[in-house]
Structure 1
Amino acid sequence: MDVNQTTGRTSADTDALVKLLDIGDAMPGASELRARSYELLGVAPDAAVVDVGCGAGRAVAEMAERGARAVGVDPDERMIEVGRERWPAAEFRLADAYTLPFADGEFQGYRAEKVFHVLDDPARAVDEARRVLVPGGRIVLVGQDWDTMVIDSDDAALTRAIVHARADLVAKPRVVRGSRNLLLDGGFADVTIEIHTRVHTDATMVPVLVNSAEKARAAGTVSDARVDAWIAEQRERGERGRLFFALPMFVIAATRR
């Protein structure tokens, strides 16, 4: 079984992640959130922008449609394959956030969505972002705080346990809380932070909740029986249109000094 040495994922893992990303991209408000990130980034015709941790490449394609010279970067070879299959006219490169294959000052914009929480050293990634940006260039980071998923359930204590167990499996689950200082320390100015909260009440997000519960189960945090009951409850709520899942997304933008 081939395992990506950078991400630790197999091709099957990546394909499963692509499915979850597709669910996220189709959620109400997701396209508007991406559009807001492009606005803050200053995407314009002929502007050079890089999307780091680009995944399956939707944002790369959308920024290219706006006339930008958009390049997608991801450390997962299978993810790059998917991006090229879906968006054959877009440009993709295999690389990680710490060693971008670009010259100093090559870009006017740097974007990373749902990326910094998986990095062991976000400050190093910020240094690399500053390197590839021109003075006055823009950086936009989009992500969640993994402790702030709000889920209605008959068992509040179990829900807290699942949310926190899932967060603890992430390298930097609370990185957005420190993003302002991270950017200021990394040579950026004019930092702004927006919060866009999505509320979901139907079955669309059940796979995401099931994924979190299964991760908690695999970590040995909660018993099989309790996880099974919780998943059954969330599926039943989704079927009846009685689900409640709120996910605050943070959009942090700044200017390279």
Structure 2
Amino acid sequence: MLGDMSNARELIPLLDAVDALPAAQALRSRSYELLRLSPGASVVDVGCGAGLAVRELAGQGVRAIGVDLDDEMIAVAKERYPSSDFRPGTAYELPLNTGEVTGYRADKVLHELADAGQALREAARVLAPGGRIVLIGQDWDTFVIDSDRPELTRAIVHARADLITSPRAARRYRNLLLECGFESVEVEVRTAVFTDGMILPLLTGAAHAALDCGAITQEQHDSWTAEQKARAGRDRLFLALPMFVVSATGG
């Protein structure tokens, strides 16, 4: 996951837990289908994190390359899957030759970039003619959280979104791909629903971020997080997260 991952190893248990969810597994599988890779083809997974997608793609008989900005993530990926190909690099400057791969995948990456268009132009460079690209991401303004205080919840969601470099990148995937010369762009939306306590740190973290930036008061923060913690104790947490899956073919 390209971006500021200064505590990468601390995040890995949470990332692993999310990756193990049936909805996350189904989303990854769909992204692999949309790549339309033949055995022996090559694909780059940009923002590969701890390397799970690279391992799964390699298991399908393709040559998978993982690229990530964070050295710690690359180190963990190499520890887990020593026979796989992991390389440090950024979405703006991939460590690949022009036309080297037939597939490009980026899962929850473009929202961390100030210039998604530059990253997609780089994707077009490394893709062979007719290669496939698949982008996955959430729109940070469309988190759906159940709460007794919907106005406060809306303020928290928007405040958290405003701290992301490009919070609405996912809704722009289609237009960005078209502007960068990709063809046959298709858009799918899969909504992930979370109801267990595993997501509580994500919710309380959003409230803390909103407090830190001055969007809400200490009282609002305390009451909202107390409500969400109580919901967790009663099995009443609810977060729905629309995930955009966009695929296209290179020119």
Task: Indicate conservation of the 8 Å contact 1:143/1:251, yes or no.
Answer: yes
- What is the alpha-carbon distance in structure 1 between the residues aligned to residue 225 and residue 59 of structure 2? 40
Task: Indicate conservation of the 8 Å contact 2:3/2:112, yes or no.
Answer: no
Show the counterpart of 2:70.
76
Show the counterpart of 2:158.
164
Show the counterpart of 1:187.
181
- 2:154 counterpart letter in structure 1: R
Please say if 1:109 is aligned against 2:140: no
Please say if 1:154 is aligned against 2:148: yes
- What is the alpha-carbon distance in structure 1 between the residues aligned to residue 211 and residue 77 of structure 2? 31
- 2:216 counterpart letter in structure 1: V
Distance 1:86 1:174, change over 3 A: same
Show the counterpart of 1:93.
87
RMSD: 1.5
Residue 242 (structure 1) shift: 1.2
Paired residue secondary structure (1:29):
helix
- 2:234 aligns with one of 215, 227, 240: 240
What TM-score do you get using the length of structure 2 for normalisation?
Answer: 0.95
Residue 207 (structure 1) shift: 2.0
Show structure 2 runs of 5+ residues with no match.
Answer: none
- 2:103 counterpart letter in structure 1: G
Residue 8 (structure 1) shift: 4.5
- 1:31 aligns with one of 17, 25, 41: 25
Paired residue secondary structure (1:51):
strand
- 1:166 counterpart letter in structure 2: R
Distance 1:123 1:203, change over 3 A: same
Matched-pair identity in %: 54
- What is the alpha-carbon distance in structure 1 between the residues aligned to residue 12 and residue 114 of structure 2? 22
Show the counterpart of 1:3.
none
Task: Indicate conservation of the 8 Å contact 1:43/1:63, yes or no.
Answer: no
What TM-score do you get using the length of structure 1 for normalisation?
Answer: 0.93
Larger CA deviation: 33-42 vs 215-224: 215-224
Paired residue secondary structure (2:22):
coil
Show structure 1 runs of 5+ residues with no match.
Answer: 1-5
- 1:17 counterpart letter in structure 2: L
Residue 86 (structure 1) shift: 1.9
Residue 128 (structure 1) shift: 0.4
- 1:143 counterpart letter in structure 2: G
- 2:167 counterpart letter in structure 1: P
Larger CA deviation: 49-58 vs 235-244: 235-244
Task: Indicate conservation of the 8 Å contact 1:202/1:237, yes or no.
Answer: no
* Alpha-carbon displacement from aligned partner over 1:174-202 (angstroms, at most 9, x marks no partner): 11121111101101000000000012222
Larger CA deviation: 148-157 vs 214-223: 214-223
* Alpha-carbon displacement from aligned partner over 1:221-251 (angstroms, at most 9, x marks no partner): 2223322222221122122111111000000
Please say if 1:201 is aligned against 2:195: yes
Show the counterpart of 2:171.
177
- 1:155 counterpart letter in structure 2: R
- What is the alpha-carbon distance in structure 1 between the residues aligned to residue 119 and residue 176 of structure 2? 10
Distance 1:221 1:134, change over 3 A: same
- 2:169 counterpart letter in structure 1: V
Task: Indicate conservation of the 8 Å contact 2:38/2:62, yes or no.
Answer: yes
Task: Indicate conservation of the 8 Å contact 1:72/1:91, yes or no.
Answer: yes
- What is the alpha-carbon distance in structure 1 between the residues aligned to residue 78 and residue 125 of structure 2? 26
